[in-house]
Amino acid sequence: MIQIENICKSFNTHFVLNQLSLMVNQGETLVIIGKSGSGKSVLLKLIIGLLKPETGSILIEGKNIVKAGFRDLQDMRRNFGFVFQSSALFDSMTVSENINLALRKHFKWPEQKICERTTECLNFVNLEGLQEKLPSELSGGMRKRVGVARAIAGYPQYILFDEPTTGLDPETAENINQLILKLKRELEVTSVVVTHDMHSAFTVGDRIALLHKGKIDIEGEPAVIKKSYHPEIKKFLSGYTLLK
């Protein structure tokens, strides 16, 4: 369980997050929606300790990641997978090297087991046989899926997705949505998905939270959000309805 309590984060005196509190329950997929620049990605980076808030606490299974020392922080991060908006694959490494880099570091496994796990992760994201390709040889959707394979390689309990469908064509975006659902179904991971793609939000989300003016303005199940009269939600929904 992830418990975010009263966090404030500012950049150059501009408050991006202001007394924000939020709870992510075990095994659920929480989708955070909000306008561009509303601080969604900042929130993800705070959860995994890439950024530090000025005030507040972020408890991961009761341990405050904000106050964690270097070693504790590394231990806590091993429970996480992170899928970056840009995929952030290591461009000098092959697909398999990207996936097994952390395995080699954190698991003292024999080479054969590392190869098996790499293949297993690639199979999970339907990218069999691409082990020796470089990221530059892959399409945007493939890179995103390699990012997912890399994120799940170390058996994380939590996966954070930063705009997983942004910049992808509808079919590829739908594949990614189905992949997120598959992760929940088969691996029982807890996920936090940051997006402004409402179709994706309604497809993968058990709960949806709106980040607006530095706070969570409204949160609830997709059915509740669909009926909301919150002006920001209505703006998001009007775009979604138009698309549909």
Partner 1 sequence: MFAIMEPLFTEIGKYGKLLWWSGISLRDFSTYYDNTIRRMKFIGIQSLPIVLLTGAFMGMVESVQVLYSLQNRAPLYLVGSVVTESIILELGPVLTALILAGRVGASIAAELGTMRVTEQIDALEVMAFNPVAYLVVPVLIAGVIMTPVLTIFADVIGILSGCIISILTVDLSTAEFLKGARRFFVPWDLTYGIIKSAVFGFFIPANAAYVGFFTKGGAEGVGKATTRSVVISSVMILILDYLMAQFLLKAGW
Determine if 86 is a binding residue for partner 1 (CB under 8 A).
yes
Determine if 80 is a binding residue for partner 1 (CB under 8 A).
yes
Instruction: Indicate the pairing of strand 190-195 with strand 29-33.
Output: parallel
Residues from 163 through 192 that contact partner 1 (CB under 8 A)? none
* Closer to partner 1 by Cβ: residue 20 or 146: 146
Q: Could you tell me which stretch among 67-75, 109-117, 188-196, 236-244 binds partner 1 (CB under 8 A)?
A: 67-75
When binding is defined by CB under 8 A, the residue of 2, 22, 30, 48 that contacts partner 1 is: 48
Burial class, 201, CB count within 10 angstroms (exposed 0-12 / middle 13-18 / buried 19+): buried
Are the beta carbons of 165 and 195 closer than 8 angstroms? yes
Give the whole-angstrom CA distance, residue 198 versus residue 233.
10
Instruction: Indicate the pairing of strand 215-220 with strand 207-212.
Output: antiparallel
Q: Could you tell me which stretch among 24-32, 60-68, 89-97, 209-217 binds partner 1 (CB under 8 A)?
A: 89-97
When binding is defined by CB under 8 A, the residue of 61, 91, 116, 137 that contacts partner 1 is: 91
Q: Could you tell me which stretch among 6-14, 29-37, 68-76, 211-219 binds partner 1 (CB under 8 A)?
A: 68-76
Determine if 90 is a binding residue for partner 1 (CB under 8 A).
yes
Give the whole-angstrom CA distance, residue 68 versus residue 60.
11
Any alpha helices (H) in 27-128, and if so which ranges? 40-47, 70-77, 95-106, 111-124
Q: What is the CB neighbour count within 10 angstroms for residue 79? A: 15
Residue at token pair 């694959």: 89
Residues from 8 through 47 that contact partner 1 (CB under 8 A)? 45
Determine if 230 is a binding residue for partner 1 (CB under 8 A).
no
When binding is defined by CB under 8 A, the residue of 106, 113, 185, 234 that contacts partner 1 is: 106
Size of site (CB under 8 A) for partner 1: 24
Q: Could you tell me which stretch among 2-10, 83-91, 221-229, 230-238 binds partner 1 (CB under 8 A)?
A: 83-91
Taking each helix axis as running N to C, give the angle between helix 95-106 and helix 111-124, from 0 to 180 degrees, rounded to the nearest 10. 130
Determine if 89 is a binding residue for partner 1 (CB under 8 A).
yes
